[in-house]
Structure 1
Amino acid sequence: MQDALVEFTQSLPLWLQWAGVMLAAAIPFIESYFGTLIGAIAGVPLPIAVLAAVVGNVISMLVFVFIAAAARQKVLARRGAGAATDAPSPRRQRVKRLFDRFGVPGVSLLGQTVLPSQITSGMMVSFGASRNAVIVWQVISIIIWAIVFALIGQAGIALFR
């Protein structure tokens, strides 16, 4: 899949390759870190690749956060009317335990090693975390991960040249 995304990005006109990086980074599990690598491999200048990957990932994450916040409001409104609650899945229980232990900053910074930022941000909001706190910490995390992978990618590209 990553090869296809690199080929897609390289097939775009040079002045539009940043958009390919942005689109790739909006995909869960690709995110800012692999989006940055895709841009670097495709030949997009590293600062532009990082910025495009961050923007694509942030936009995608915001969509998930706002959808989760709206869904939470609907569920809470129904519960007020006496609706039954379903037992959470084992994965959701695990994320909830991590959330309770590390809070929004910890899950935002470390959660991307396990699940995409879009999913972890949506889950945190569904647990009742402040939507704005989730957004701020996810943006910080997305930027940090993009920069770390940009440096790794730059070192890897330099090694193979």
Structure 2
Amino acid sequence: MENLYLQFLFVFFVSMVPFLEVFLTVPTAIIVFNFPPFVALIVAILGNAFSVFLFMFFGTEINKLFNKIYNKFRKSESTPKKINPRIKSTFDRFGANGVCFLSSILFSSQLGAGAITTLGASRSQVFIWTNIGASAVAVVMAILSVVAEELVSSLVNL
């Protein structure tokens, strides 16, 4: 029974790691640990949601700290840096919700949530839309894992 708890903890904590998140944990839980797909989804999404919350909170606090240090050592005649035009145009085009959803799909939900909250988006919106994006990726990975497992087992049993 303790082995099952360790497997749950493994899936939960690895889903907290940026870039690994649900891309690795859902297939591992379904194929290697033989979890039911729904259970694997729940554990991975909860782990990812917890880390998104941490990145959102500490991302804002770290940004405040860097701005405080930057303003302390900044020379009076230098002009403050502006936001990269690419980032601003993407943010203006898709909005905070779209950027949060796409960050979960394209690179890392944690880093995307931390970056968007530092730009001033609502924390609750960022949390909800980032988790919706991560959940969508998790469902796709679960479907692919189940299909791939059946495909491989049917090829092996030839």
* Class of the TM-score when normalised by the shorter of the 2 chains: 0.7 to 0.9
Q: Does the CA contact (< 8 Å) of 1:25 and 1:54 recur in 2?
A: yes
Q: Which residue of 1 aligns with 2:156?
A: none
- 2:24 counterpart (8, 28, 34): 34
| Structure 2 portions without partners, runs of 5+ | 154-158
Q: Report how many aligned residue pairs link the two structures.
A: 147
Q: Deviations over 1:15-37 (max 9, x none)?
A: 43121111111110111232111
Q: Which residue of 2 aligns with 1:44?
A: 35
Gaps of 5+ in 1: 1-11
**Counterparts of 1:110 and 1:55 in 2: how far apart (Å)?**
19
TM-score by length of 1: 0.77
Measure the CA separation in 2 of the matches of 1:155 and 1:30: 21
RMSD between superposed Cα atoms in Å: 2.6
In 2, Cα distance between equivalents of 1:160 and 1:107: 36
Q: 1:87 deviation in Å?
A: 5.4
**TM-score scaled to structure 2, two decimals?**
0.78
Identity %: 27
Which residue in the other structure is 1:103 paired with? 95
Q: Provide the residue aligned with 1:17 in structure 2.
A: 7
In 2 relative to 1, CA 94–30 (structure 1 residues): closer, same or farther, beyond 3 Å?
farther
Match of 1:85 in 2: 80
Find the residue that maps to 2:107 and give its secondary structure.
Answer: coil
**Structure 1: distance between partners of 2:151 and 2:88:** 41
CA–CA distance in 2 between the matches of 1:93 and 1:53? 35
- Largest Rg, 1 or 2: 2
Query: Residues 114 and 142 from structure 1, CA distance in 2 versus in 1: closer, same or farther, beyond 3 angstroms?
Result: closer
